[in-house]
Structure 1
Amino acid sequence: MKRILLACSAGMSTSLLVSKMKEAAQARGVDVEIWAVAQDKAPKDMEKADVLLIGPQMRFMKKKFSKTAEEVGIPLDVIDPMAYGRVDGEAVLNKALELIGD
């Protein structure tokens, strides 16, 4: 099972994206756990994740999260603003799986 963590300002704006990503994964038969947290919870939750995707409104936090991600050995990136705005679960899922190496 792949574990995908999304981080945003308050942990709520990505909830619809999480639902769309789960739908896309289920349609493709991909076994994933996807959840979203607020930025202050992200460092702790990174320990349980295989990848961290950051909401585009928080791209300035990438450098801060990079240190923790490196320590726990997971890749991270900022979610594409177009995919985020369109709530394109398929595109964001593809990016996460690409970063994981699957």
Structure 2
Amino acid sequence: MKILLVCAGGMSTSILMKKMEAYWKENGEELEIKAVGLAEYQDICSGYDIVMVGPQVSYRLNEIKENTGLPCAAIESFDYAVANCPNIMKLAKKLYSEK
């Protein structure tokens, strides 16, 4: 699964990205993930299966869906804040099934 994480600048999602990579690996799942800011996502989205959006930019979710044509969802604020990887993985798998 190839996930593009989008947040305001790509910094806070980098932390989450590392935790997600570790969690997926522990669970024997393949994952390629990249964290980028709003200014970058359109340039690279074609190489990804799904887009997950940080809560701080969730107000741009519809625009991101339109621009990428990929399954997209915002990560819940609490799950994002505490890096609740089991919940985030469930959301990612749900999105991937919509592909």
Same fold (TM over 0.5): yes
> What's the CA shift string for 1:13-35, capped at 9, x where partnerless?
11111011111110111111011
The C-alpha deviation readout for 1:56-81, integer Å capped at 9, x for no partner, is 010111121121222xxx20011111
Matched, 1:54 2:50: no
Q: Report the 3-state secondary structure (helix = DSSP H, G, I; strand = E; otherwise coil) of the residue aligned with 1:52.
A: strand
1:94 offset after TM fit, Å?
2.2
2:44 corresponding residue in structure 1: 45
Q: Distance in 2 between matches of 1:6 and 1:29?
A: 20
Unpaired segments of 5 or more residues in structure 2? none
Percent identity among equivalent residues?
27
State the TM-score, normalizing by the size of structure 1.
0.89
Distance in 2 (CA, whole Å) between partners of 1:22 and 1:66 is 24
Aligned length: 98
Structure 1 stretch displaced more, 17-26 or 91-100: 91-100
Partner-residue secondary structure (3-state), 2:67: helix
Q: Which ranges of 4 or more aligned residues in structure 1 deviate by more than 6 Å?
A: none
Unaligned runs of 5+ in 1: none
Note the aligned Cα RMSD (angstroms): 1.4
Q: After the TM superposition, which residues 1-102 of structure 1 pair with which residues of structure 2 at under 5 Å, given as runs? A: 2-70=1-69, 74-101=70-97
Tell me the CA shift for residue 43 of structure 1. 1.3
